[in-house]
Amino acid sequence: MSLITTSDALVDICKSLSRADYLTVDTEFMREGTFWPRLCLLQIAGPDDAVAVDPLADSLDLSPLFELLADANIVKVMHAARQDMEIFFHLTGELPHPLFDTQVAAMVCGFGDQVGYEALVAKLTGARLDKSSRFTDWAQRPLSEEQLNYALGDVTYLRPAYEALRDRVEETGRLHWIEEEIALLSDPAIYRIEPAAAWRRLKPKRSEPRYLAVLQAVAAWREREAMERDLPRNRVVRDETLLQIAARPPTDAKALDRVRGLSRGFSNSRLGAGLLDAVAEGRAVPPESAPTAPPKRDLPAGIGPLTDLLKVLLKHKCEEHQVAQRLVANVSDLELIAADDDADVVALKGWRRELFGADALRLKHGKVALAATGTHVRVVPVNGAGDVDALPASEPANNGGKRRRSGRRRKRKDAPATAPEAVDGETA
């Protein structure tokens, strides 16, 4: 069993691993009762080696391993990398790079949105992994033989899975389909914790400047407390309590005492004083400097049915092309397309437009339709699309049910089809 617990052994193995083109990487961690996930085991495999490293071992220096993770010449392969990346970022201030996420790659290989590791490995290699150790206590020492076997399986089977996916992605020319997703996971900004932005995750229900200013201040205070004391946010003060405080800001310890959800004695503690300071800080923010809630999108009434129609098209196209829907468009994108032909959404650009966006617009304007044959949905050209085009093409068929008078019809800027246009091909 390869469990690395000494710095010397780690230096040796890292020397060997440094010759690899790619390394598979995984971590086991616990995050119950803490703000920061607690790294309990770190697994890494190259073509010849597979080891588990014990970050809890006394005086084990992990820096040779972190150097490998930062080595730009070695691809780091992870499955569903986000949490692992978050851990490395917190530990080192850097992200493993370059990254290949097999869960992301699987999205363009017909495995759906978020395929699990075991399912992916079973499909690609035929191996059946024993999952029974997954939710065991990874902080205990010594780790059991089963735990270590399970943990190593998370990197050893990742090797053939990676190679199969990489080849498939290359053969199908879909590397650029996943590059954005991987670039997003490699962006430090998504792992950086900004106390000033913490209020957004509380889903404020009101939008008055004073309310939001107090909410921002108390949420930022809680974020800093939670980080410093390494406690889950809700262990410092619960979300509901912060929302309640923003709605009726207490100005002294007595008023704080009356806030529901705070423990007895809280108002006179150091924490209580800090929270009151934050409230005062929030109250002092002039309205024009207060944060603003994200604007509610103003969608035309009645676009629901069209959005649903686009959903069916999306599902059909994604199944046909073996790509996860999430990668192409989400519901909000579909609503924007339903409302506006020139919506600024990725689904109307690049490969996504070819795969889905172009037909979405054709569907919207009655030039293609969805039909079924037996159990299969097909996209079919609409005969006599001229009739359909008699409706103003520039008007989303959903402008609140009011159709403009024909005399005031706007002309489409971008070369509208005045005659029925031949549908170019892409019927399923």
Residue 402 Cβ vs Zn ion, minimum distance, rounded to whole Å? 56
Cβ proximity to Zn ion, 26 vs 359, nearer residue = 26
Cβ proximity to Zn ion, 38 vs 168, nearer residue = 38
Cβ of 113: how many Cβ atoms within 10 Å? 12
Provide the 3-class DSSP secondary structure of residue 76. strand
Residue 150 Cβ vs Zn ion, minimum distance, rounded to whole Å? 8
Say whether residue 84 binds Zn ion (CB under 5 A).
no
Residue 6 Cβ vs Zn ion, minimum distance, rounded to whole Å? 23
Segment interacting with Zn ion (CB under 5 A) among 154-162, 226-234, 252-260, 400-408: 154-162
Cβ proximity to Zn ion, 89 vs 266, nearer residue = 89
Site for Zn ion (CB under 5 A): how many residues?
A: 2
Binding mask 19-58 for Zn ion (x = CB under 5 A): -------x--------------------------------
CA distance linking residue 426 with residue 368, whole number of Å: 10
Residue 185 Cβ vs Zn ion, minimum distance, rounded to whole Å? 17
Q: What is the DSSP letter of 57?
A: S
Q: What is the DSSP letter of 293?
A: P
Say whether residue 154 binds Zn ion (CB under 5 A).
yes
Residue 3 Cβ vs Zn ion, minimum distance, rounded to whole Å? 15
Cβ proximity to Zn ion, 81 vs 379, nearer residue = 81
Segment interacting with Zn ion (CB under 5 A) among 6-14, 18-26, 61-69, 210-218: 18-26
Segment interacting with Zn ion (CB under 5 A) among 124-132, 153-161, 236-244, 344-352: 153-161
Cβ proximity to Zn ion, 153 vs 357, nearer residue = 153
Question: Whose structure tokens read 């495999």?
Answer: 45
Segment interacting with Zn ion (CB under 5 A) among 150-158, 239-247, 358-366, 420-428: 150-158
137: number of CA atoms within 13 Å, CB side?
4
Cβ proximity to Zn ion, 83 vs 269, nearer residue = 83
Residue 154 Cβ vs Zn ion, minimum distance, rounded to whole Å? 4
Residue 28 Cβ vs Zn ion, minimum distance, rounded to whole Å? 5
Q: Which residues contact 59 (CB under 8 A, 6 or more apart)?
A: 7
In this structure, which amino acid lies at residue 274?
G
Residue 164 Cβ vs Zn ion, minimum distance, rounded to whole Å? 19
Residue 135 Cβ vs Zn ion, minimum distance, rounded to whole Å? 11
Question: Which is nearest to 90 in space by CA: 211, 193, 217, 161?
Answer: 193
Question: Whose structure tokens read 């009151």?
Answer: 276
Cβ proximity to Zn ion, 65 vs 368, nearer residue = 65
For the four alpha carbons of 160, 161, 165 and 168, in that order, the dihedral sign comes to positive
Cβ proximity to Zn ion, 150 vs 221, nearer residue = 150
Residue 104 Cβ vs Zn ion, minimum distance, rounded to whole Å? 17
Residue 78 Cβ vs Zn ion, minimum distance, rounded to whole Å? 10
CA distance linking residue 196 with residue 404, whole number of Å: 46
Cβ proximity to Zn ion, 111 vs 157, nearer residue = 157
- b/e burial code for range 360-391 (CB count within 10 A of at least 16 → b): bbbbbbbbbbeeeeeeebebebbeebeebbee
In this structure, which amino acid lies at residue 10?
L
Q: How far is CA 233 from the centre of its chain?
A: 21
Segment interacting with Zn ion (CB under 5 A) among 146-154, 162-170, 275-283, 409-417: 146-154
Cβ proximity to Zn ion, 6 vs 149, nearer residue = 149
Q: Which residues contact 301 (CB under 8 A, 6 or more apart)?
A: 398, 400, 401
CA distance linking residue 307 with residue 144, whole number of Å: 52
Say whether residue 333 binds Zn ion (CB under 5 A).
no
- b/e burial code for range 14-32 (CB count within 10 A of at least 16 → b): beebeebebbbbbbbbeee
Q: Which residue is nearest to Zn ion (CB)?
A: 154
Contact 379, 314 (CB under 8 A): no
For the four alpha carbons of 46, 51, 54 and 60, in that order, the dihedral sign comes to negative
Segment interacting with Zn ion (CB under 5 A) among 147-155, 269-277, 312-320, 337-345: 147-155
Cβ proximity to Zn ion, 42 vs 259, nearer residue = 42
Instruction: Give the interface with Zn ion as residue ranges (CB under 5 A).
Output: 26, 154
